[in-house]
Amino acid sequence: MHIWVDADACPAVIKEILIRASRRTSMPLTFIANHAIKVPADNQIQFIQVASGFDMADNEIASRVQNKDLVITADIPLANDVIDRGGICLSPRGELMDKSNIAARLTMRNFMDTMRSSGVDTGGQNTFNHRDRMQFANQLDKIIQSSL
């Protein structure tokens, strides 16, 4: 299993958890973003910088993901593409996205986008917190253990 990270908006604490997991399991880990990020010198860990622009990192991840790869992203359309290709998606908040829930998530995302476009203030996500970090780490461990 290869772990791909939509790194444009991934919290730093999640990146650190992923780096530790990659080192512990020797799983390849690739961060993809349209801006430079630092990654440790490690043969298993790499960074790919894509051109700036809408969905450039998402498109790069979608083109590279293979069956049973893990993608870390909060982007619902990217998650849908990854799942269609046989990959597994986990949000930085530890929410697993799969065939059983991606259609509903995509529908809700599109609905909320329509509401925002019509001027409705839909609020935003809550601040990333310790519970989110723990939920992510627990889900990541489950996914890694099931792949070994």
Confidence of residue 118 (pLDDT cuts 50, 70, 90): confident
Confidence of residue 128 (pLDDT cuts 50, 70, 90): confident
Task: Check residues 143 and 124 and name the one with the higher pLDDT.
Answer: 143
Determine the pLDDT at residue 42. Answer: 93
Tell me the pairing of strands 96-97 and 88-90: antiparallel
Go through 46-64 and write b for each residue having 16 or more CB atoms within 10 A of its CB, e for each that does not.
eeebbeeeeebbbebbbee
- Number of domains the chain contains: 1
Percent of the chain with pLDDT over 90: 71
Element containing residue 90 per DSSP (H, E): strand 88-90
Mean pLDDT of 23-42: 94
In contact, 101 and 83? CB cutoff 8 Å: no
Go through 76-105 and write b for each residue having 16 or more CB atoms within 10 A of its CB, e for each that does not.
bbbbbbbbebebbbbbbbbbebeeeebeeb
Q: How far apart are CA 97 and CA 123, in angstroms?
A: 22
Provide the residue range defining the domain that includes 120: 3-146
Task: Check residues 41 and 124 and name the one with the higher pLDDT.
Answer: 41
pTM value is 0.85
The two three-digit tokens of residue 10, written as one number: 């991934």
Q: Of the ranges 18-22, 25-29, 38-42, which one carries the lowest mean pLDDT score?
A: 38-42
- Of the candidates 79, 41, 33, 37, the one whose C-alpha atom is nearest the C-alpha of residue 60 is 33
Confidence of residue 9 (pLDDT cuts 50, 70, 90): confident
Task: Check residues 126 and 49 and name the one with the higher pLDDT.
Answer: 49
Tell me the pairing of strands 29-33 and 96-97: unpaired
Domain CATH number, residue 102: 3.40.50
Tell me the pairing of strands 29-33 and 88-90: unpaired
SS percent in the chain: helix, strand, coil, step 5: 45, 15, 40
